[in-house]
Chains A and B, each alone.
Chain A
Amino acid sequence: MGFIKRSLLSIVRNKVKSFILLAVIIVLGSLIAGAVSIQQATSNVEKNIKERLGAAATLELDYEKLDSLSEEEWMEIELQDIDLETIKQVGELSYVKYYDYNMSNYFGSKSIKSFQGDDVEYEVEYEGPSMDFMLKGINYAPVLDFEEKKGKLVDGRVFSQEELDNGTYVAIISKKLAELNNLHVGDTLTLVNEVYTFDNKTGKEKLVNSRDIVLEIIGLFESQKVKEDADGNSNRGMFDWMDIDYQNTIYVPNEIVRSETQYQMEEYMKADQEFAEMWEEEGSSFEHYTPMYVLNNPEDSEAFEEEVLPLLPEFYKVVSASDHYDSIAGPVESMANLSKYVLIAAVIGTVLIIGLVVLLFLRDRKRELGIYLSLGEKRSKVVSQVVIEVLVVALIGITLSLFSGNFIAAQVSDSMIQADNSSMDDDVIYYSELQPDLTTDDVIDSYEVNLSSSYILGFYGIGMLTILISTVIPLIYIVRLNPKKILM
C-alpha cells in the first residue's frame, strides 16, 4: 500500500475531516474564484474596448501643459506648427501600419441641403453664410476612415493616387446627404467658397469675393459606428450630433482644401491690408495638417509615443485612441481594483486558514505519521501523502467553487457596476481628433463574467498554488516529528 493509495484511503476513511476541509476550501475558493472571474472580465473589457477604440494615434497640442504655464512663460514661448516633414517622418516609423494627414475647411452651398438628422421636426435657419459642409482633405487614397471602419464605402470608388497628387475635383459624400439631395455617383455638387470681411462699425459681414467649388461624386459612404450602435444607449445626444457632422463631411484630395483655403486667404488679405501685413510679418502659414496614424497594434501605443515625442516641437503630445479607455472605464476599473484587493486578501486568508485546518488535522493524526516514520517510511513520502490528501480534496473544492465563484462574481459585479455607474459624473466632454464614440455604457455592456478557458486555467493555477503554499506550515510540522516521542 503505497503512499498514494494511503492518501486516497485516508480521504475516504476520514469522511468528516475531509468534508470539513472541502467545505472550507469551497467557501474560500469561491472568494478567490469570484475575484479571478472579475479580474478576467475586466481585463477582457479592457482588451475589447481598446480594440474597439482602435490603434489610431494623432499629434496634438498639449493643452494641459499649456494651461499650467504662467503668464510670463506664455509671453516667452513661441508655438510652432508640426510641419509636413515631421508628419511624414513619424509615418515612416515601424509601428505605423498606415497614416494620413488632413487639411479641413468648412464651406456652404446654395444648391444642396445639409443633412440635419433622420427625425427633423423643424429646419434650423441660420443667419449669415452657411458653413454646413466640411471638406476633409485626404492624402491616403483608400481613405483612413474607411479602413478604420468609421465609414464604409457603399457605392462608387475611393480616390486614385493620381487624383490625390493632381488635386482633381472629385469627392466622396455620405449616402444620406446624397439621398437628401437626390445625388448619385457621377453627378456633380457645387459648394461655394465665399470670403467675407467683418465690419466692426456696423457689425455686419461683407462679401468680398466668391467662387464655386464643383466636385464630381465618385463614391458614397455610410457611417459605420453609429449604425452598429443603433440599438445602443439612452444617452447618445452627443453622438447624434457627431453623426450629423460626419454625414455632412465631404472627402476630397488635400490639394483641393489647400487651394480653396489659399483662395480664401488671398482674397481676405486683399480686403484687409492690415491683416495682410501682420500675416506677412509673422510668416504664418494657412496649411495646417492634422496627422492620423494607425498603428499595427494598440499595444504599441506607448513605444510609439516614446519614439515620436523627441521628434515633436515643444508643447505637442501623442494622443492614442486607447488613451480614452481610462476616461470611460471608471466603474469597471474600480471593480478591477476591488477584485485585486479581494484576491490578495482571499489568497492570504486561504493560506492561513487552510494551513491551520490541515495542521489541526495533522495533530490529530500525529500518531499515524509517527507509525509511518517508525516503519522506515521516508519523510518525503509522508509529506507527499499529506499533500496529495489536501490537493485531492482541494481539486474537488476548487472545481465546485469554480462555478459558485463565477455565479457570485456575476451577481456582485452587476449590482456594483450599476451602483458605481449611477454615481459617476459624466459631464466632462472635451474635444479631440480622437474623440471616441464609445461611452461608459459601452464598457459596461462589454463587461461579461463567463467561464472562459483563461478564467478556468487562471483560477486552477492560483487555487492550487494557494493550497500548496498553505501546506507548508503542516509540512514543517511533519519534518520535525520524532517517532520515539510520539510512540513510546
Chain B
Amino acid sequence: MNDTDAINEVLVRHGKDGTRLMQILRETQEELGWLSPATLTAIAAGINWPRSRVESTAGFYSFFHTTPLGRYRVLWSDNITDRMLGNMDLMQAMCKKLWLEPGRVSADGLVSVDTTSCTGMCDQGPAILVNYRAITHMTAERIDQMVELIHNQTPITEWPAEWFKIEDNIRRADILLTNTMPPGEALRISFARGAATEVETSFSERSWHESMQASDIGASATLDEIKKSALRGRGGAGFTTGLKWEACHNAPGRTRYVVCNADEGEPGTFKDRVLLTRQPDLVLEGMTVAAYIIGANKGFVYLRGEYRYLLEPLNAVLAKRRKLGLLGENILGREGFNFDIEVHLGAGAYVCGEESALIESLEGKRGVPRNRPPYPVTNGFLNQPTVVNNVETFASAALIAAKGGDWYRSFGSARSTGTKILSVSGDCERPGIYEYPFGVTVRQVLEECGAHNTQAVQVSGPSGICLNRDEFDRRIAFGDVPTAGAFMVFGQQRDIFEVVRNFVHFFAHESCGFCTPCRVGTTLLKNLVDKIADGNGTRTDIDEIFHLNRLLQTTAHCGLGHTACNPLLYTLEKFRPAYERRLKLLKFVPAFDLDAALSQARQMTGRDDAGAHLETQSEIAQ
C-alpha cells in the first residue's frame, strides 16, 4: 500500500472528521513511521482544515514526529524512580552498542534513542517505550538482546512476549480493587431507584413522557446517592463529584458529554493503569451512570499515549458491553437512554491532564488550557456541557450507584470518604498498588511497602508535596496530605537535590508554552538548578528561585505553572543542606567559567603565568 492509500484509509476510518485529528495522526504515523510535510498536507486536505492548524497540533505532542526518527524509536522513561533503578547507565550502554547519541537517529536511519517523561511503570522500571509500546524491567541482558533484534530488523511483534508483560502488583486491595460486581449491576440498581417510583404511579395512565420522568427520578435519586457519598474527584483537585454532575445536568446545551481522564501523567502515578486493567467494567459503568444522570449520549476515555497497549483490551471490553446492552441504544432496555464510549489516545503531553487542555486535545487541537471561566461543566467538548472525571472517580461512583452513599461514607473519614489508591514506588521492598481507606498515615504505608531508613516521601508527584521524616504521621486525606495517587519513597542514601532536579526538568519539558511566565520561567528554573548542580550556584540563584516562584504562582495560566516551583520550595525548606553543600559562594558567579574561557588565548600566546589568569574562585570567596 502506498502512502496516499494508507492516509486515505485512516481518514475514511475516522469519517474525515477534524476533531479526530489526534487519532488520525497517530494511526497514520503507526502506518508510515513519521508525519512528513506531504503527509500533513494530505491529512489537512482530507479533513478540510488549514494545513497550518494540522501542523500546529502535530508539533505539540511529544509522540508525533514531523522528522523521521528511525524504524525503531526507543524512549527511556526518565522519572526519578527510573533514574534510581539505573536507567541512565543502561541508556548509555544501549547507545554505545548502537553507535549513536541520545536524541539522535542512527546514520542508517534505523533507530533513535531518547528519554521521555514518566511512562507510569515506576514499580517495574527501568521502563522504556519502543515504538510507543511499553517494556519494563530493563536490564543489561535485555539491552544486548534488543540491540541484536534491532540490528536484524526483527519486527517488534516478534520480540519476546514477556518483555511486554505489565504487572499489576496489587499489594493491598479494598472496595475498588476487590470489586466483583457483575457488569450492569450499578446501572440496574440506578434504574430501579426510578422504577420504585414508577410502581407507585402505575395505576394512573402514564404517557411516554411521564415514563421518561420516571427515568429522571432514577437519575436524580442516584445523583442524590453520589452527593450523599461526599465523593470528591480523585485526580488531585478534589472537587465534589455530585455537585459537578448536577451543574452539568443543569447547564443548557444541545447535548452533553462524559469524559474519563485517563491521562495519568503525574510522574510516579500508575494506579489508573491498574484500574483500567483490572476493573475496566467498573470504570466504564461509572461513566455510563454519569451519562444517565447528566443526560449524555457520548463518552470518551482519554487514555495517555504511554498506555497505548491498553487500547485493544479496552476496545474489547467496550465491545462486550455493547453486546450485553450496557452501551449503545436503549441501554438495558431503557427507551431513549443511548450512550456509547470511545477511547481517545493521547500522544505524550502531561498538560492534557488539565481538564480544559484535555478537551482541546479531544477536539484535535493543541493541548492548551482554556481561559476559565467558563468551565467544562457548562462549555466543554465542542462547547457543550461536559463532565470530566478521573478514572478512580468513575470507578468509585459506580460502586456508590450500586451500594448507596451511606455505604460509601462508612469508609474513610468524614471529610475524605471512601478509599484512595496509592501508586507506591522508589526505595521500598514492595512497590506497587495500595488501596487504603482515606486517613491512612504515611508511616503505615511506609511500613507496609517495606520502606526502611526513609529520608523523604514525595506525595502526589512533582506538583505535590515532599514530606520529611518528621511528617510521617500525617494522613492521606483532603484536609491533610491530598494526593492524586503518587507515593515515591526516597531512602537515606538518595540525594534530594537530584530528585528536585529531575522534577524541574520535567516541568520545563512539559510546559505547554501558552503563557510567558511558565514557558520561559520553567526553563529559567531548569537552568538555575543545572547551574547549582554544576557547582556554580550562589545565594543569588536561590533568591532568584523564590522570585520566579512568586511570579509563576501569581501569573501562570494554569496549575502546571502554579506548582512548577513546588519541588524546589518544599525541599529548600526541609532539605536545605542538599543545596547549600553545592553552593560555592555567597557572591554571584556566572554560569560559565570565565578563566577556562581564556584557555585558548593562553595557548595562543604561550602564557600561563598568574597575569594570564583571572582571579580564582577561592580568591573571590575571600
- Asked if A and B are interacting partners, one says no
